[in-house]
Structure 1
Amino acid sequence: MTRSSKIFASALLSLSLLHVAQARESNPNNVIIFVADGLRGAMVDAQNAPTMHALRNEGVAFPNSHSIFPTVTTANASAIATGHYLGDTGDFQNTLYTGFAATYANGESSVTPFVEENNVLGDLDKHFDGDYLDEITLLASARAHGFSTAAIGKLGPTLIMDHTARSGEQTILIDDKSGLVNEKTGTAEGIPLNQEIQRALQAAGLGQTPPAADKPNVAQQQYLVDVTSRVVLPTFKQRGKPFVMVFWARDPDVTQHNQLDSRYGVAPGINGSTSLAAIRNTDDGLQQLRAALKAQGLDRNTNIFVTSDHGFSTISKQSETSHAAKCGYDDTPGSHLPSGFLALDLANALDLPLFDPDAYGAAIDTQAGCDIPGNSAKPADKFKAKHGKHGNGLIGRSADHPDMIVTAGGGSDLIYLTSAAGKLLVPIIVNSLLAQDYVGGVFVDDGLGSFPGTIPLNAINLIGSARTPRPSIVVSFRSFSTGCAEPLRCGAEVADGGLQQGQGQHGSFSRSDTFNFMAAVGPDFKRNFVDVAPTSNADIAPTLATILGIPLEAKGKLVGRIISEALPGGKNVTATTTTCLYPPANLGHGAQQNEPPLFKLQPALTSQTVGTTNYFDAAGLSGRVLGLNTSGAVSCDPAANSSKENVRK
């Protein structure tokens, strides 16, 4: 196809979508986004999740779907909410360095807060001019254009869907902290419920506070399904206008994290009976919501878009190279990696003090209780090693003015360089990271330079218009298959945090974590259609905004696409796949300096492209990332010019 014919085809598509939007604006259908937190795309079949399996067969299946990296909840919530990649939203991970002390409902504060908390999200908005994402969300736009709106489910991502509407009088916001007041501070932990919803809850015989989470999370999730089915949907029907709603199920995520089916072992890990029950629990919730739509007479004019925020893996805590793994901890089995191992290892490698940002800057001794030469404090001694309360760390001469900050995020950690001295240490930091066997990939801010063995942040859409501080270095941890017939069903990864080996985690750049589940059904989607083109969580908001006929104005440029091929009359799109090789790092030499290196670490990135939209399958060091295949790869060294000529379809 010539360039002029491509432009003409693109213009025809835009005109067609404009007509669709104009038609929907006069008589729009309803939209529900159903998020199954932590559901792996490879796990949906007729046995594990019959409702989702049937839904994708009935409507549109997206077998080439993607989570946004880092593959964690609030990061993907920001993409689902706005249609932007993280370089624009600035929600780089569940734990962020914010540049100020954000306060939790219990009164504690930290410069590295966990953002799955309503008070922290409020502080972020206040600090960043009223909107920390700085991009309009789908729910906010729908609300402004006269739709009824609601977000129901998991604490954190539920509020992110319309985080600037905290009064309860606009969007209905119900999460697992609704109705709760912190006993220590008297601060409300949930978003207020308006009088209309309070009366409806009382009439339905439902309280205002959900039960606590469990494994599987049956009681809490059933309460939220009941609230949606018996309160919110009838309220919307009574209002007599179209609605947009997000239902964010906490399972299977919370169960997969905390299950104990294979304590300290990687098999069956998150494939045990407890996790399978959690998948069915969420599937049953979707079935009940579909039944409620039918009972209310809303099924024929309601679109349901099902997604998961990320995939999942079983945790490994093994390392032969880590200094931290040679130390003894009260909460960690011997020789396993402790929570905060990256901060501990970096501080040790740089010979710099380490402080805990979540304990008001308390010093952490990186040598106490370590079985290392010349250290009299052995792991068996009474002086046990310590780590940060939540695995985060301030590294430098002073807790008040650190040179770098590490935030622990499960399958990946973020490193923020906060001083000129810290930025001078980048070559040493990179080399110390590459020397660790638990590192799966290192991604460095382009402005700091190019370093062998690393991939630029810009290549993975982490540099954009974000207001929040941008990490200087992102570290994704090693991932691998535990040996089953379908590797994406049994992925494992090294993970930073308080959970132990055998439990579940996500966040890495493996395909087991980037492969989420996506499907759609409803009057504005094709029927019995398999969309083999790549899709991602960033595509959801632009697609649904088109269906609803509402604008989704963008400030940043890192946006998802309209999944036009999944809409009635939409034509199939063409995708290209590229595996980029970046300059390798050579570690170690033979007896003579001119001998070949003992081994090299080859960084690579596999991505797919539709038009100008990129989808990232897997990235990191070859041989250390599940799903990263360098066969047919091309050089993407900025100094090379051959990459464009070698893209393969």
Structure 2
Amino acid sequence: MRRTISFISFGFLALSSAVAFAQNSQPRNLILFVPDGLRALKVTPELAPAMAAVRDKGVNFKNPHSLFPTFTMANASGMSTGHYLGDTGTFSNSIYTGHPVQSVPSQLGTVVPFIEHDQILGEVDKDFNGDYLNEETLLKAARDAGFSTAAIGKVGPTFLFDHTERTGTKTITLDDQTGAVEKDGKLIGIPLSDEMKAALTAANLPLATPGRGDNGKAGDAKTAGTTVANIRQQEYLADVASKVVLPMFKARNKPFVLVFWSRDPDGTQHNQGDSLNSVTPGINGPSSLAAIRNADNNLAQLRKALDDLGLSATTNIIVSADHGFSTISKESKTSPTVKNSYPDTPEGFLPLGFLALDLAKALDLPLFDPNDGNKQVGPNAYPKAGNALLGKDPNKPDLVVATNGGSDLIYLPKG
């Protein structure tokens, strides 16, 4: 009997070939395509023809929902394991671990790391007995069952699908940090196997993922963010998948599972510069729509590769967004912080870390910044990443705030 690999899908559409196959035949291939932050109702034949075709010709799940709107790592933990957040512990993109970061200079010393980072995930695994999720992941189950496996795309959720495999030889992992190094020469991303290095070179593709360029510009309170989609980086990742990994898997002549996690439209929606300090047009502006097209083009490229390689009839495709998206206001009529002035914060707007500031005032507790050496935050200032340790001793806080873009987490370490 074939082993069945199952997981919770929060997506909205799937396509399976109509070719019948016997129970004892070779297992089918699977591509899980994740357009991060995509709203299902934005998929139309005009804007996203490839995704619309999969939906209309396949199975459409009309009532999807995320485990935790709208956080990538929380939902990625569910998609990669089939377990709820109480099992995986990944309640958001920044979490309180209780262990100071030791290996990543940009987050050194913090106990509230941003975990969309390959080295941070490695540290958290070490802190929790080698596997902080403590659940079997999709790609590990697949490779244990004899499948070829690969995870390609946005750093963080991509690696989560086989996060204990850090050699690059059992599962191919390729994300934003592939080929990147620290100032001391230490490799940041998961290493490429010799087989992958040779295949990338033969395909005239670099061994390091290009950056986001202008798409990575988030802007600030005075400067608009990006007006372009994440095209260059995702073209490279789609080329790796279609020109290197899929041909490699075909040559191996065994079933495969490929996860392709598209940063767009989420990345562009976060950084879009179409509506500075305004909720309109927000994520319905031209930059965000271009990001949906960008993700759709990536899916179309993968489908064409399957056709060209003769793999379409034996490959199932699942398109599953991790969450949707919304445009939020940064104004408030109740927060005491709006009565004060803060650096880089327009008058009447909430400062970064406003929840921690409000709680510190209400509870009359000192506030310390875990992302700035546990320094105490003074008047008319805010914690640099929004995270905070509240209490008289930052090493033994009464309360911890992990800032996550409007849906913050509050931890009570002392119970």
Report the TM-score, using the length of structure 2 for normalisation: 0.89
Secondary structure, in 3 states, of the residue corresponding to 1:110? coil
Could you tell me how far 1:25 is from its partner in structure 2? 6.0
Distance in structure 2 (CA, Å) of the matches to 1:317 and 1:273: 22
Distance in structure 1 (CA, Å) of the matches to 2:23 and 2:263: 32
Letter in 2 for 1:340: G
Q: Deviations over 1:31-69 (max 9, x none)?
A: 010000010122111222111111111000111111111
Q: Indicate whether 1:97 and 2:99 are aligned.
A: no
Could you tell me how far 1:109 is from its partner in structure 2? 3.0
Residue correspondence of structure 1 range 305-384 to structure 2 within 5 A = 305-365=318-378, 368=379
CA shift in 2, pair 1:141/1:152, >3 Å? same
Q: Is the 8 A contact 2:69 2:323 kept in 1?
A: no
Q: Indicate whether 1:288 and 2:301 are aligned.
A: yes
Secondary structure, in 3 states, of the residue corresponding to 1:221? helix
Tell me the residue number matched to 2:394: 399
Tell me the residue number matched to 2:133: 133
Tell me the residue number matched to 1:180: 180
Letter in 1 for 2:252: R
Could you tell me how far 1:125 is from its partner in structure 2? 0.8
Could you tell me how far 1:23 is from its partner in structure 2? 5.3
Q: Indicate whether 1:42 and 2:41 are aligned.
A: yes
Q: Indicate whether 1:124 and 2:119 are aligned.
A: no
Could you tell me how far 1:255 is from its partner in structure 2? 0.3
CA shift in 2, pair 1:272/1:232, >3 Å? same
Tell me the residue number matched to 1:146: 146
Residue correspondence of structure 1 range 95-494 to structure 2 within 5 A = 95-106=94-105, 108-183=108-183, 185-213=184-212, 214=215, 215-365=228-378, 368=379, 385-419=380-414
CA shift in 2, pair 1:334/1:70, >3 Å? same
Q: Is the 8 A contact 2:32 2:260 kept in 1?
A: yes
Q: When the two structures are aligned, how many residues end up with a matched partner?
A: 380
Could you tell me how far 1:334 is from its partner in structure 2? 1.0
Secondary structure, in 3 states, of the residue corresponding to 1:66? coil
Q: Is the 8 A contact 1:150 1:171 kept in 2?
A: yes
CA radius of gyration, larger in: 1
Q: Deviations over 1:184-237 (max 9, x none)?
A: x43211100001110000000000112211230000000000000110001101
Distance in structure 2 (CA, Å) of the matches to 1:62 and 1:277: 24
Could you tell me how far 1:104 is from its partner in structure 2? 4.8
Could you tell me how far 1:70 is from its partner in structure 2? 4.6
Task: Kindly report the root-mean-square deviation, in angstroms, between the aligned alpha carbons of the 2 structures.
Answer: 1.3
Secondary structure, in 3 states, of the residue corresponding to 1:233? helix
Tell me the residue number matched to 1:54: 53
Contiguous gaps of at least 5 residues in structure 1 = 1-21, 369-384, 424-649
Letter in 1 for 2:396: H
Secondary structure, in 3 states, of the residue corresponding to 1:358? coil
Q: Deviations over 1:98-128 (max 9, x none)?
A: 0111235336231000000011100111111
Q: Indicate whether 1:68 and 2:67 are aligned.
A: yes
CA shift in 2, pair 1:313/1:241, >3 Å? same
Distance in structure 1 (CA, Å) of the matches to 2:386 and 2:43: 33
Secondary structure, in 3 states, of the residue corresponding to 2:105? coil
Q: Is the 8 A contact 2:370 2:389 kept in 1?
A: yes
Question: Which 10-residue stretch deviates more, 105-114 or 133-142?
Answer: 105-114
Moved over 6 A (4+): none
Q: Deviations over 1:552-608 (max 9, x none)?
A: xxxxxxxxxxxxxxxxxxxxxxxxxxxxxxxxxxxxxxxxxxxxxxxxxxxxxxxxx
Contiguous gaps of at least 5 residues in structure 2 = 1-20, 216-227
Sequence identity, in percent?
55
Q: Deviations over 1:598-637 (max 9, x none)?
A: xxxxxxxxxxxxxxxxxxxxxxxxxxxxxxxxxxxxxxxx
Q: Is the 8 A contact 2:69 2:324 kept in 1?
A: no
Secondary structure, in 3 states, of the residue corresponding to 2:123? helix
